Amino acid sequence: MAAENVVISQVTAAAVSVAFINWLKASSYFPWITQEKANLLRVLAVITSGIGALGIHYTWDPAAHSLTFTGLSLAAIFGAAVAWVKSFAVQELAYQATRKNNGTGAVAIAKKPDAASSAAPPAVTLLLAGLTLFVFGGCAVRHLPNGATQKATNFEQILAWNAAAAQANDGFADNVIGLQRTGVIGIPEAKNILLKQGAIAQADQRITDRISAAAKCAGEQAGPNATAAQLDSAAAACAQISGPGLASDINLILGSLTDLNSGMLLGVKNDAKRQALSELLATVQVLVGKIYSSLESQGVIK
């Protein structure tokens, strides 16, 4: 009878814990706890499983914001640890038995249309990359004082793509450094990736200088009342002298991105993180590709 009570208590505690975690995932009050935060959910599962396992005495001191656990002997800690593992196992069984078969909309988004049977990366990653491309796939517009909008000139658009690419590369560096510090990437692998990123940033500095100089030259030559078409024409003429240098640096960036995507990211031990980094690189590649195409169509790059 006593044994039955223990089992029922454990199962009940596990069920309550699972319900609590599921509520956290769905609740709008905790937007940072989602289906995709696997590590966080695992930690929560371990902590909440302890609720059912440990009869540890504790005292909360509101003034010191501290929680004091008492009555801990080596034997008690070992016993508690065993009980905790048992409780976690029961809770995991309850979770696996009761969860919906991941059939949520978010997971459906994660599947690429052409992805065959390979495991899909987390929805948040693809959603982020999709949003990034969506935001920068369109055209830049000028907002006029009378409330109307006007298509940006070609070189304003190129500089907009360029600034976005530079920031994406900057964000990529943040991620690589952060992942190295948490052990997801080793130091030698991180070094190789960051050296490429540094080279990309240096090349983009030169590209920025050349495009900006051509755009400023166009403004001076076409005059303050020039139309967008006149500015486009003047900028293309001003940029002619920079054509070979621009082509060389754009090719350097595209080559570096290819290197990064064709082997250097294999040092990232976590599949989901590697996929996310690859998506970020794809974003930079798309933006730089747009710059190249625009310069080519204007006759600056031949």
Partner 1 sequence: MSIVLTLYKFAALLGAVILPDIETALKIKAAFESLGPEYKANIQALTDAANHANQETIDKVNAWLTENGFEPLPPDPAKAK
Minimum CB distance to partner 1 smaller for 10 or for 88: 88
105 lines the binding site for partner 1 (CB under 8 A): no
Which tokens is 79 given?
A: 């016993």
Minimum CB distance to partner 1 smaller for 91 or for 180: 180
Distance, CA of 174 to CA of 181 (rounded, Å): 11
Which tokens is 24 given?
A: 């956290």
Residue 264 has what DSSP assignment? G
Minimum CB distance to partner 1 smaller for 14 or for 277: 277
Distance, CA of 18 to CA of 20 (rounded, Å): 5
160 lines the binding site for partner 1 (CB under 8 A): yes
Distance, CA of 12 to CA of 16 (rounded, Å): 6
CA atoms within a 13 Å half-sphere pointing along the CA-CB vector of 194: 15
Site for partner 1 in 171-200 (CB under 8 A): 171-175, 177-180, 182, 184, 187, 190-191, 194-195, 197-200
Query: Using CB under 8 A, which of 221, 251, 270, 294 touches partner 1?
Result: 270
Stretch that binds partner 1, among 20-28, 93-101, 107-115, 275-283 (CB under 8 A): 275-283
Stretch that binds partner 1, among 5-13, 22-30, 110-118, 168-176 (CB under 8 A): 168-176
Query: Using CB under 8 A, which of 94, 123, 164, 236 touches partner 1?
Result: 164
**What length does the chain have?**
302
The b/e string for 285-301 (b: 16+ C-beta within 10 A; e otherwise) is bbbbbbbbebbeebebb
Query: Using CB under 8 A, which of 206, 247, 254, 255 touches partner 1?
Result: 206
Query: Using CB under 8 A, which of 20, 27, 81, 216 touches partner 1?
Result: 216
Site for partner 1 in 114-153 (CB under 8 A): 124-125, 128-129, 132, 135-136, 138-145, 152-153
Three-state secondary structure call for residue 110: helix
Stretch that binds partner 1, among 80-88, 105-113, 210-218, 257-265 (CB under 8 A): 210-218
Size of the site for partner 1 (CB under 8 A): 81
Least Å distance, CB 89 to partner 1, is: 20
Minimum CB distance to partner 1 smaller for 91 or for 132: 132
Which tokens is 81 given?
A: 């640890």
289 lines the binding site for partner 1 (CB under 8 A): no
Distance, CA of 188 to CA of 124 (rounded, Å): 28
Site for partner 1 in 30-89 (CB under 8 A): 37, 39-40, 43, 64-73
Least Å distance, CB 7 to partner 1, is: 30
Which tokens is 155 given?
A: 């070189």
48: left (phi over 0), alpha (psi -120 to 50) or beta: alpha
- Helical residues (DSSP H) of the chain, grouped into ranges: 2-26, 38-53, 74-98, 105-110, 123-137, 154-181, 187-222, 228-239, 243-261, 271-297
Minimum CB distance to partner 1 smaller for 90 or for 211: 211
19: left (phi over 0), alpha (psi -120 to 50) or beta: alpha
